[in-house]
Amino acid sequence: MSERTPLLHYRLSTSVNEQSGEHQPCLPREAVEQSPAFSRRKSAHHSRPKKLSTFFGVVIPTLLSMFSVVVFLRIGFVVGQCGLYQAIAMFLVAYFIISMTVLSVCAISTNGALDAGGAYYMISRALGPEFGGSLGVMFFLANVCSSALYILGLVEAIVATFGLPEDGVSPAGSLQVLPAGYWWSLLYATGILLLCLLVCLVGAEIYAKASFIIFLVVMLVLATIFISFFAVRPRTILLPAAPPILNGTGPQPPTMANFTGFKLNTLLGNLDADYAVDYTTGTMMSFATVFAVMFNGCTGIMAGSNMSGDLKNPSYSIPRGTITAVIFTFIIYNLLSLMVACSCDRILLQRDYSFLRDINVWNPLVTVGVYSSTMSAAMSNLIGASRILYALARDDLFGTVLSPAKKTSGNGNPWMSVLLSWFLVQLVLFTGKLNTIASIVTIFFLLVYAAVDLACLALEWASAPNFRPTFRYFTWHTCVLGIVGCAVMMFLINSIYASASIAFMLLLLLLIHYLSPTSSWGYISQALIFHQVRKYLLMLDVRKDHVKFWRPQVLLMVSNPRSSVGLITFINDIKKSGLYVLGHVQLGDLDTLPSDPLQCRYDSWLSLVDHLNIKAFVNLTLADSVRHGVQHLLFISGLGGMRPNTLVLGFYDDCTPKDKLTDPALADATVPTQDPEDERPPYHFPALRASIDGKEEGNGENGKVMGPQEYVAVIADAMKMMKNVALARYFHQFDRASTISSSPGKGALYVDVWPVNLLRPDSSSYVDTCSLFLLQLACVLNMVRAWRHARLRLFLCVEEGRSLRGSEGKLGQLLKELRIKANVYTVPWDQQVALHWQRQGEAGKRRPSRQSRREEEGLGKKGLFEEEEGDDDYVNSFPSNATRLSDEYLSAVNRLILEQAHPPPAVRFLYLPRPPADTRRYTAYLRQLELLTKDLGPTLLIHGVTPVLTTDL
């Protein structure tokens, strides 16, 4: 090799030293076993036994990837600039960083059966397809560019040694016979790449044999170098020509330097740092620049793990082989640094980076070592790139884009991936010089190393019982140190390229997250979320709950989702970041069934949740009656401080349900299955009943009956359990998208609130617990983004001569203190109340209630929320005279509500009184609610049992 080989060539030739490996199919084991071709692939897999041992499969590839040409060309550069002390410190820091990653690799590789794919397989199976796919693409591109880098570096070295001079005349007896120039260099690079292609097309076995021959050559060259320090006598060496000094001023660079042999004075002169200008580039060196150049020679630690598909025992070979190679290269680097510092003048180290060739017992050996190691690195990266591409194609993370890369030969060699990788490398070769991307390629590899550390850290922090690697010489501290070390090195090498590579990874991550199919590899994020949620749930103390931080936590009972889409989406808006549970009762007795029938239903329910884009949990139960099932869910739903405080039920009426899951808009809501030939229906929900026949929707096929008596009993049970209750009627008419999109401008949506017990005309309270609960829920709905422009309309029912003094003003003041923006409307209802008292036979006269008297006297701030003992029970209870409420009165109130709806509201909130204490009155109670809400459109009848509003800060 020519003495004038520039430093940029050294950086180019050794900027990335990486992996190779034979990848086998990387499909998840579960998906493979379910595939129709599983048996055929399994037999084919066993017909190609893995043959590589620890030495041939791990030690040799890792050693060659870490040594490359660094051991021949950079030792003098590092010691000459930094001195022996700082050089050893640099190697210690660099190897500490990569050792942390090695520990993570060893831990993951011993945590079960490691399939082919190396770093990509480990990251994707530990962190999920998003991280695995994005880093896999970067890993593939880094290997492609790295292969081109090594080939171009080898071409430059060959041209420097055998190329014709610029005048085109070769000296007599000289070996400089090759023509030079861009196109000639491209031709030489293409020929070398074709040789690498032929080796890779044959397969991994021929590559392993070629690597072993190269390994023997490199070890022979190293042996002669160590021998030369003792056998070669001191000599003076001619230094390569340096760039001329500008204007001819200043001291001229020396032309000669000494190889002194082992001398104490030489060692003392090389102990301390002496940073100087790089003679090939004219750039002033510093600790950071030298460390960045040196660190490139310490990468390549995953070359052995990437051979996992061809190893006899990956879990045994990868830890032992990788650690052996790392320790061996560390010893060699430090020994060479010490010998160089003891025997070479600093001028020789700073001005001749290829001095090892000049002091060798046989000069051509070092040149052969440089050529062979560079050729090995180029071939290693080409075969590594092809295997990564093949693994990405088999995992179907990018759909049909990479389908051609799945093709393999009879012996399992992915020849199509090899050809695609070769084509990309050839394209990169046309650039001729890759100095600009040499650093970013190294950064790509460092990013992959950091991802491996992150994968191991996530597995350790998740504390999953199945993460129990046999290699235990690691902790989460080593993982964090590895991540930090890789990140620091990335930004030390080039902060701009580091930022760009991270941004590129995040872009790929988002792309794969939204476009790739669901995998069955398992998601580490789910394990981490479980770990953190459990910890915070334990910290959520129900004894510390405060009314200021109350939020709705809803259990919505769904009989059949086919008819409940509108209600499900509406309740999702009203939950205000609280707990939202979809509950369903399946009638049956587990004693008479062979297995739990609910387990196969969860997929359909969860698919419905995904399609409707709601944030809800699903809780199904098996019971002998709907009432008992609802009781079960109210008792057991939620954990700790996250339990439902509000029960929502569909109304019990004669409305014929409509199947919203058969709408064209929902036609694409299919349940994802692994088998594309599976023609199951979109959802496994029962067909709807044609009309009311007393059977519960979804359970009618079991012959179970839920009558009005049981329905009201469910309401009473919830109130006994101190749960707020809401009954939803006519929500089969509600379509969230059309309701919101139909509003042409701000304020076009209306939400009506009637905070008075319309079944108790003898009580006109607007400030009891239930009324305030209505106000709170209406306000919560108004805070949702889609409902933000809706206007709240609050209606006060008053009687002429008996109206509350200043009731409208008092209620307006209350709304102001509660920070609720609503328009208050006074509604006279004398005619409706008269119908009620005529039925009572009292000629329209009544004795004012205690609540009315208190409001007439005026209420202070405290009185708004604290009532006299017994008042709340009096107002909320089902009145004793309610059984004598006439149909005429209820119809009149119903018409009154309809008359105020100009324009009609999107939804109404009405006061729901308690069910009667006498269970024999349940049917009458339900009939009165039905008459009251007839033809009102989407309506919520709401009863609150707990305080939810406060004016305190």
Beta strands in 639-723 (DSSP E): 646-650
pLDDT at 700 over 50: no
Q: For the range 628-633, what are the long-range contacts, defined as Cβ-Cβ under 8 Å and sequence gap of 24 or more?
A: 629/585, 629/586, 629/587, 630/557, 630/583, 630/585, 630/714, 630/717, 630/718, 631/717, 633/555, 633/557, 633/581, 633/583, 633/585
- Among the residue ranges 286-290, 631-635, 675-679, 847-851, the one predicted with the least confidence is 675-679
Window from 46-50, 234-238, 945-949 with minimum mean pLDDT: 46-50
* Entry pTM: 0.66
Identify the band that residue 725 occupies on the pLDDT scale cut at 50, 70 and 90. Answer: very high
Q: What average pLDDT score do residues 580-584 get?
A: 94
Whether the CB-CB separation of 911 and 944 falls below 8 Å is answered with: no
pLDDT, residue 908, reads: 93
Q: What is the pLDDT of residues 615-648, one digit of tens each?
A: 999 999 999 999 999 999 999 888 878 899 999 9
Q: Are 295 and 94 in contact (CB under 8 A)?
A: yes
Token pair of 26 as six digits: 């990387």
231: its two tokens? 């056998």
User: Per mean pLDDT, which range of 15-24, 68-77, 540-549, 712-721 is the poorest?
Assistant: 15-24
Instruction: List, in sequence order, every beta strand (DSSP E) within 250-323.
Output: 256-259
Residue 892, classed as helix, strand or coil, is helix
Alpha carbon distance 519, 395 (integer Å): 9
pLDDT score of 434 more than 60: no
The most confident of the ranges 69-83, 595-609, 810-824 is: 595-609
169-173, 524-528, 742-746: which has the minimum mean pLDDT?
742-746
Tokens of 504: 């590129």
pLDDT of residue 864 exceeding 70, the answer is no
pLDDT recorded at residue 802: 56
For residue range 873-883, list pLDDT tens digits in order: 444 444 444 55
Supply the pLDDT for residue 691: 39
CA distance 153 to 151: 5
pLDDT for 255 beyond 70: yes
Lowest-confidence segment of 26-30, 272-276, 465-469, 776-780 by average pLDDT: 26-30
Neighbours of 805 (CB within 10 A): 10
Torsional class of 173: left (φ above 0), alpha (ψ -120 to 50), beta (otherwise): left
Which tens digits make up the pLDDT trace of 902-943? 888 999 999 999 999 999 999 999 999 999 999 899 999 999
- Calculated CA dihedral for residues 88, 93, 96, 102, nearest 10 degrees: -100
Q: How confident is the model at residue 801 (pLDDT cuts 50, 70, 90)?
A: low
The structure tokens 């055929």 sit at 40
Task: Give the model's pLDDT for residue 943.
Answer: 93
User: What is residue 175's DSSP assignment?
Assistant: S
Strand order in the sheet with 646-650: 617-623, 580-587, 554-557, 646-650, 724-729, 939-943, 907-911, 750-754, 791-798, 823-828
Q: What φ, ψ does residue 520 adopt, rounded to 5°?
A: -110, 25
Region 823-830 average pLDDT: 81
- Say yes or no to pLDDT of 851 above 90: no
Which range is least confidently modeled, 228-232, 286-290, 500-504? 286-290
pLDDT of 308: 73
Task: Look at residue 421 and tell me whether its pLDDT is greater than 80.
Answer: yes
Per-residue pLDDT band at 15 (split at 50, 70, 90): very low
Output b/e per residue, 687-725; b: 16+ Cβ within 10 A.
Answer: ebbeeeeebbbbbbeeebebebebbbbbbbbbbeeebbb
Cα–Cα distance for residue pair 492/292, rounded to 1 Å: 7
**829 token code pair:** 């209802």
On the question of pLDDT at 897 being above 60, the answer is yes
How high is the pLDDT of residue 873?
44
Please give the mean pLDDT across all residues of the chain. 78
Instruction: Give the pLDDT confidence score for residue 477 in this predicted structure.
Output: 92
CA-to-CA distance for 926 and 923, rounded, in angstroms?
5
- Report the alpha-carbon distance of residue 300 to residue 326 in Å, rounded: 10
CA dihedral 203, 205, 210, 213 (to 10 degrees): 180
List the single range of 94-108, 285-299, 319-333 with lowest mean pLDDT.
285-299
